[in-house]
Amino acid sequence: MALLVKGGTVVTADTTTRADVLVEDGVIIAVGEGLEAPVGAEVVDAGGCYVMPGGIDPHTHMQLPFMGTVASEDFESGTAAAMAGGTTTIIDFVIPNPKERLMDAYRTWRGWAEKATCDYGFHVAVTWWDDSVYEDMGTLVTEEGVNSFKHFMAYKNAIMADDEILYNSFSRCLELGAIPTCHAENGELVFQLQKKLLAAGITGPEAHPLSRPPEAEGEAANRAIRMAEVIGVPVYLVHVSAQQALDEITRARSAGSRVYGEVLAGHLMIDDSVYRNEDWYTAAAHVMSPPFRPKGNQEALWKGLQSGNLQTTATDHCCFCESQKSMGRDDFTKIPNGTGGVEDRMAVLWDQGVNTGRLTMNEFVAVTSANAAKIFNLYPRKGDVRVGADADLVVWDPKATRTISAKTHHQKVDFNIFEGMTCTGVPVHTLSQGKLTWTGGELRAEKGAGRYLKRPNFQPVFDAVSKVNAARVPTSVAR
Ligand code: URQ
Ligand code: ZN
Ligand code: ZN
Q: Of 183, 186, 212, 264, which is best to mutate to test ligand 1, by the most ligand atoms within 8 angstroms of its C-beta?
A: 183
Which of 133, 169, 174 lies closest to 152, judged by CA? 169
β-strand 435-439 against 422-432: which pairing, if any?
antiparallel
Which of 130, 73, 120 lies closest to 96, judged by CA? 130
pLDDT of residue 464: 59
Task: Tell me if 286 CB under 6 Å of ligand 1.
Answer: no
In a domain, 164, yes or no: yes
| Length of the chain in terms of residues written | 479
Nearest CA to ligand 1 atom 1: 289
Task: Tell me if 186 CB under 6 Å of ligand 1.
Answer: no
Residue 64 CA, closest ligand 1 atom number? 5
Report CA(67)–ligand 3 centroid distance (Å): 13
The residues, any chain, with a CB within 8 Å of residue 478's CB and separated by 6 or more, are none
Total number of domains constituting the chain? 1
In angstroms, the Cα distances linking 418 to 340, 341, 403 are: 9, 8, 9
Report CA(440)–ligand 2 centroid distance (Å): 35
Enumerate residue ranges in the chain where pLDDT < 70: 460-479
How would you list the strands of the sheet with 235-237, edge to edge? 55-57, 87-94, 119-125, 148-152, 179-183, 235-237, 259-264, 312-314
In angstroms, the Cα distances linking 473 to 93, 168, 231, 372, 478 are: 32, 17, 8, 30, 13
DSSP state of 98: T
pTM of the entire predicted model:
0.96
Report CA(374)–ligand 2 centroid distance (Å): 21
**Identity at 478, one-letter amino acid code:** A
pLDDT of residue 459: 73
In a domain, 437, yes or no: no
Task: Tell me if 289 CB under 6 Å of ligand 1.
Answer: yes
Task: Tell me if 316 CB under 6 Å of ligand 1.
Answer: yes
In a domain, 232, yes or no: yes
In a domain, 330, yes or no: yes
List the beta bridge partners of residue 395. 51, 429
- Give the number of other Cβ atoms within 10 Å of residue 440's Cβ: 8
In a domain, 337, yes or no: yes
Q: Give the three-state DSSP class for 144.
A: helix
| DSSP string over 18-79 | E-EEEEETTEEEEEETTPPPPTT-EEEE-TT-EEEEPEEES-B-TT-EETTEE-S--HHHHH
In a domain, 468, yes or no: no
Residue 154 CA, closest ligand 1 atom number? 1
In a domain, 228, yes or no: yes
HSE-CB for 274 with a 13 A CA cutoff: 24
In a domain, 97, yes or no: yes
Task: Provide the residue range defining the domain that includes 322.
Answer: 54-382+453-461
Whether 137 and 148 have beta carbons less than 8 Å apart is answered as: no
Task: Report pLDDT digits (tens) over 292-350.
Answer: 999 999 999 999 999 999 999 999 999 999 999 999 999 999 999 999 999 999 999 99
Residues that place a CB less than 5 A from ion ligand 2: 183
Distance CA 241, CA 237 (A): 10
pLDDT of residue 474: 60
**Which numbered ligand comes closest to the C-alpha of 325?**
1
Distance CA 387, CA 383 (A): 12
The residues, any chain, with a CB within 8 Å of residue 409's CB and separated by 6 or more, are 81, 343, 344, 416
Task: Tell me if 66 CB under 6 Å of ligand 1.
Answer: yes
Q: Give the three-state DSSP class for 268.
A: helix
Whether 310 and 359 have beta carbons less than 8 Å apart is answered as: no
Nearest CA to ligand 1 atom 6: 338
- Give the number of other Cβ atoms within 10 Å of residue 424's Cβ: 15
Task: Tell me if 337 CB under 6 Å of ligand 1.
Answer: yes
The 3-class SS string of 184-225 reads CCCHHHHHHHHHHHHHCCCCCCCHHHHHCCHHHHHHHHHHHH
Which of 80, 36, 110 lies closest to 342, judged by CA? 80
In angstroms, the Cα distances linking 146 to 395, 454, 455, 457, 472 are: 30, 6, 6, 7, 29
Task: Tell me if 338 CB under 6 Å of ligand 1.
Answer: yes
Q: Phi then psi for 305, rounded to 5 degrees? A: -70, -45
pLDDT of residue 16: 98
Task: Tell me if 61 CB under 6 Å of ligand 1.
Answer: yes
Whether 249 and 255 have beta carbons less than 8 Å apart is answered as: no
> CATH number, domain at 266?
3.20.20.140
Residue 288 CA, closest ligand 1 atom number? 9
Whether 296 and 245 have beta carbons less than 8 Å apart is answered as: no
Distance CA 27, CA 20 (A): 14
Q: Of 57, 61, 70, 95, which is best to mutate to test ligand 1, by the most ligand atoms within 8 angstroms of its C-beta?
A: 61
Distance CA 95, CA 340 (A): 19
Report CA(474)–ligand 2 centroid distance (Å): 34
pLDDT of residue 70: 98
pLDDT of residue 1: 87
